[in-house]
Homo-oligomer: A and B are copies of this chain.
Amino acid sequence: MQRGTFQQMKSVNKSIILNKIRTSEPISRAQIAKETTLTPPTVSSIVKELIVQGIVRESELGASQGGRKPTMLLIDQTAFYVIGVDAGPESVACILTDLSGEVIERTASKINKPITNEQFIAIMKESIHQVMRSSSVSKDKLIGIGVAMHGVVEVEAGISLIAPNLGLTNIPIKMELEAEFNLIVQVENDARAMALGESWFGGHGELESMVAVNLGRGVGAGVVIKGKLYHGSQDIAGELGHMTIDIHGDVCECGNRGCLQTFATGKAIAGRARKEINGATEMLTGKDVFQHALAGDEAYIKILQETGEMLGVGLTNLIHLINPEKIVLGGGVTKSKKFILPAVKQTIDQRVLTPVAKRTEVAITNLGDDATLLGAVSLLLVDLFDPL
């Protein structure tokens, strides 16, 4: 717990006002005072500071409500910029955005394996240098670099502990990038970054809690509670992929049986199709299953529906433990949402314990391919807009 000081009192109010403007812009000072229960003078004085800082600006006057016209306030989305990096198993993508998440510049570099820690860091550095060079954004307007890294990440230290798909361990990302660029660097697991991005840019409004699930090569999830990522005590909260739902099921790469991952990844879907469908080729991929299902082949449709059911079982367990207000699904597998989503929803509806819990919303992300990159960006936006 933070101790109570004047600075803290003020920064609380500053955050409240800044977030109110962000979520309700354009908005007048008087309106802010009403909606936040802060007094008008307090709002005025803090808004004045925010304007000096450049993060808020006055726009034209709004419509009068029967008296003086209000001066409307806006976030100056171009006051600051952020760099987001998505360090996946096959490539490093990098974007530079303004505060609204609008992409100003982007790059992507393929990773040639095998690779060393040094080479990997070098690729990240070069990507970041590149977006900085290509854009005309001056460096003092950059507030930091957010990195979404696959694998296991130690968040505080900013170290990638295990990056299985690169075969690397203990990469000191934060330290290296801070030394190179002299900017704030935040490193986070990719599924979790995606979750934060989803809560920040996904248009879900103010949720008390949400979970975003990334269905791709693995099954990862991020838990966002009151706008903040929940890490757990050892940074593994949300490790949905290796939840056991069938103790007698197939062996997972982790060594256990019946993990959710053995049902819900693209690879698992393809594997099950090859096993259960006569005439399925050896080279069948998850995408192929989707194509066949789209073409109306019942056998493949059934595979996808079963996938949805298993996912529904896993998500029901998640609802019973974490009970989020909303669950958002993203990642490659959600391309098959037409077949999977109804099965997921139906399964949850059947299995969940109480009637109220049935109200848990389940939706597909609408951020598309940039979800993780925007998540990386949001790591820093949270610092700026909601630091408490």
Residues of A with Cβ closer than 8 Å to B? 1-6, 8-13, 15-16, 36-38, 152, 161-162, 208-209, 223, 231-240, 242-248, 254, 256, 258, 310, 313, 316-325, 351, 353-354, 356-357, 359-360, 388
Contact = CB atoms under 8 A, between A and B. Distances in A.
A259 to B, nearest CB: 10
- Among A38, A317, A359, A360, the one with the most B-chain Cβ atoms within 10 Å of its Cβ is A317
A239 B9 contact: no
Contact of A233 (B37, B209, B239, B317): B209
B318 A321 contact: yes
Given A232-B209, A247-B246, A254-B353, A320 B3 contact: no
Contact of A3 (B16, B246, B247, B353): B16
Contacts of A232: 209, 322-324
A359 B236 CA distance: 12
A353 B219 CA distance: 14
Nearest to A207: B233
A265 to B, nearest CB: 16
B16 A233 contact: no
Contacts of A4: 8-13, 16
Contact of A321 (B11, B234, B239, B245): B239
Given A245-B244, A246-B246, A208 B233 contact: yes
B356 A323 contact: no
Contacts of A360: 233-234
Given A3-B37, A4-B8, A351-B244, A357 B236 contact: yes
Contacts of A11: 4
Contact of A244 (B1, B6, B316): B316
Given A38-B3, A237-B322, A323-B236, A313 B357 contact: no
List of 10 A-B pairs having minimum Cβ-Cβ separation, nearest first: A232-B323, A4-B12, A4-B9, A239-B320, A233-B325, A237-B323, A234-B356, A4-B13, A243-B317, A246-B247
16 contacts: A3-B16, A3-B38, A4-B8, A8-B9, A223-B321, A234-B354, A236-B323, A237-B323, A238-B320, A243-B317, A244-B313, A245-B247, A246-B246, A247-B258, A254-B353, A321-B322
A55 to B, nearest CB: 19
Contacts of A6: 9
A321 B3 contact: no
Contacts of A162: 354
Contacts of A161: 354
Contacts of A243: 317, 320-321
A254 B15 CA distance: 45
A234 B12 contact: no
- Among A242, A323, A360, the one with the most B-chain Cβ atoms within 10 Å of its Cβ is A323
A214 to B, nearest CB: 15
- Among A152, A248, A353, the one with the most B-chain Cβ atoms within 10 Å of its Cβ is A353
Nearest to A223: B321
A256 B209 CA distance: 26
B324 A233 contact: yes
A9 to B, nearest CB: 4
A351 B6 CA distance: 48
A13 B9 contact: no
Contacts of A9: 4-6, 8-9
Contacts of A256: 351
B8 A13 contact: no
A1 B208 CA distance: 11
A260 to B, nearest CB: 10
Given A234-B356, A236-B354, 4 more contacts: A234-B357, A236-B323, A246-B247, A254-B353
